[in-house]
Amino acid sequence: MTTMTRKRDPKLLTEAMLAGDRVALARLITVIENRGAGTAATMSKIYKKCGKAHTIGITGPPGAGKSTITSSVIEHLRERGKTVGVVAVDPSSPFSGGSVLGDRIRMQKHFLDEGVFIRSLSTRGSHGGLARSGRDVSRLFDAFGKDYVIIETVGVGQTELDIMEVADTVVVVLVPEAGDTVQVMKAGLLEIADVFVVNKADRDGALRMKTELEMMLHLKTPEGDDAWQVPVLMTQASAGVGTLELIDACVAHQDNRKRRVTPDARMQERLKAEVLEICEEELMRRLRAGRTNGEVGALLDAVGSGEKDPYEAALDLLGSPEELSKLIAGGD
């Protein structure tokens, strides 16, 4: 096996990563982000080593100060002796498909810290504000032994709510000038937030926004006696004000999740949904791999020649259990 092959072999990279090799971690992240044939099998091995890290998602509109808050949170966690992995989700470059912003630009002060590993990922066309590989990369950090994993999204909108499917604690960052709190309800943020942060709290309207958020949260139907009460915190992240309280709130939320008598319905549903998502991705990869030969290739050729319409061809493929089983079993 050549040196180059060893550098790309997921099995060897996984073994080295689990042994504490940072270079292997970086290379394995690249392999996983590229979504190759062995992604699901590799992540199955990684998954068994996960479950110790506390994953915090930080989301909110562009310009709210998410990166500044993330940097401040990292600094305070390091002061407490905690290790941190950061997944910074950036817009995709229209030319390369990679992330427009880089980790060195976003959080330069932490880049050389051995206790911090920062990785920028591009959305790669994802409409959920979170790269498809973001969940897997956060699990790599978990298996690597990071105490905390922070996922910072590219920016939030009405459809950009994927972060709740990945993070243990979702922090929604807003700023006073972002508009009235009706937009919060419109975007669905009231449903996903475990902690609200009004950043740039020294600006006009900050206290009013905090009060309105608290009123809306008060009107939510309680889930039970052990339900988490979503706090609304005020921060000035650029000055490091309020971020210690934010960390304490995240820790308190995680403790609440572990103590709850009622099942964590959100966790159960997201794991069920993940199975279907993995199946969808793997099936599409195998369909594309088989498009030039076999049953899939023949059906596509029939559509191209006009013998079949796309709907008929798709139903033929899905309606043939034998062919579909062959495809699923032999996609690699």
Which pLDDT tens digit goes with each residue over 187-199?
A: 567 788 999 999 9
pLDDT tens digits, 76-107: 999 999 999 999 886 544 444 444 454 445 56
> Around Cβ 51, how many Cβ atoms within 10 Å?
9
| Tokens encoding 185 | 């309800």
Structural domain containing residue 130: 53-263
Considering only residues 330 and 52, tell me which one the structure prediction assigns the higher pLDDT.
52
One-letter identity of residue 183: Q
**When comparing pLDDT for 103 and 130, which is higher?**
130
Residue 223 lies in a domain: yes
Report which DSSP code applies to 109: G
Is the model's pLDDT at 115 over the cut of 90?
Answer: yes
Asked if residue 214 and residue 88 are part of one domain, the reply reads: yes
The confidence score (pLDDT) of residue 25 equals 96
Residue 222 shares a structural domain with residue 321: no
Considering the domain architecture, whether residues 170 and 251 belong to the same structural domain is answered as yes
pLDDT one-digit tens code per residue, 244-288 = 999 999 999 999 988 876 667 777 887 888 888 888 888 887 777
Token pair recorded at residue 232: 């609304």
Give a yes or no: residue 129 inside a domain. yes
Query: Is 244 in the same domain as 226?
Result: yes
Q: Are residues 171 and 213 in the same domain?
A: yes
Q: What is the pLDDT of residues 146-186, one digit of tens each?
A: 999 999 987 655 445 678 888 999 999 988 875 555 566 55
Q: Is 18 among the domain residues?
A: no
Q: One-letter amino acid identity for 155?
A: G
User: Which whole number is the average pLDDT over 20-43?
Assistant: 90
Give per-residue pLDDT as tens, 209-224: 899 888 888 877 666 6
**Global pTM value:** 0.83
User: What is the spatial distance between Cα 151 and Cα 126, in angstroms, rounded to a whole number?
Assistant: 15
Give the Cα separation of 115 and 146 in Å (integer).
8
Question: Binning pLDDT at 50, 70 and 90, where does residue 145 land?
Answer: very high
Q: Does residue 239 lie in a domain region?
A: yes
- The rounded percent of the chain whose pLDDT value lies above 70 is 76
Region 229-241 average pLDDT: 92
Give the amino acid at 10. P
Q: Is 126 helix (H, G, I), strand (E, B) or coil?
A: coil
Neighbouring CB atoms inside 10 A of 155's CB total 18
Residue 235, pLDDT > 70, answer yes
179 and 67 in a common domain: yes
pLDDT of res. 117: 94
Residues 302 and 171 in one domain: no
Query: What distance in Å separates the CA atoms of residue 60 and residue 152, rounded to the nearest whole number?
Result: 9
> Which residues, at least 6 apart from 40, have a Cβ–Cβ distance to it below 8 Å?
278, 281, 282
User: Would 313 be classed as within a structural domain?
Assistant: yes
Q: What is the pLDDT of residue 309?
A: 94
Out of 206, 241, 263, a domain closes at 263
pLDDT at site 131: 54
Q: Is the pLDDT higher at 9 or at 20? A: 20
Angle between helices 66-79 and 243-259 (to 10 degrees): 80
In DSSP terms, which residues pair with 172 in a beta bridge?
59, 196
Classify residue 272 as exposed, middle or buried by CB count within 10 Å of its CB (0-12, 13-18, 19+): exposed
Are 280 and 244 part of one and the same domain? no
pLDDT at 37: 77
136 and 85 in one domain?
A: yes
Are 226 and 277 in the same domain? Answer: no
CA distance 19 to 144: 8
Claim to verify: residue 153 and residue 289 sit in the same structural domain: no
Assess if residue 25 is contained within a domain: no
**Does 231 fall in a domain?**
yes
Cβ distance 151 to 55 under 8 Å? yes
CATH code, domain with 107: 3.40.50.300
Do 294 and 258 reside in the same domain of the chain?
no
User: Tell me, what's the pLDDT at 247?
Assistant: 97
Chosen domain end from 263, 287, 302: 263
DSSP H/E element including 266:
helix 265-289
How many domains, in total, are found in the chain? 2
In this structure, is residue 38 part of a structural domain?
A: no
Stretch 46-62: mean pLDDT:
91
Domain end point (choices 263, 295, 318): 263
pLDDT at 111 over 90: no
Q: Do the Cβ atoms of 239 and 211 come closer than 8 Å?
A: no
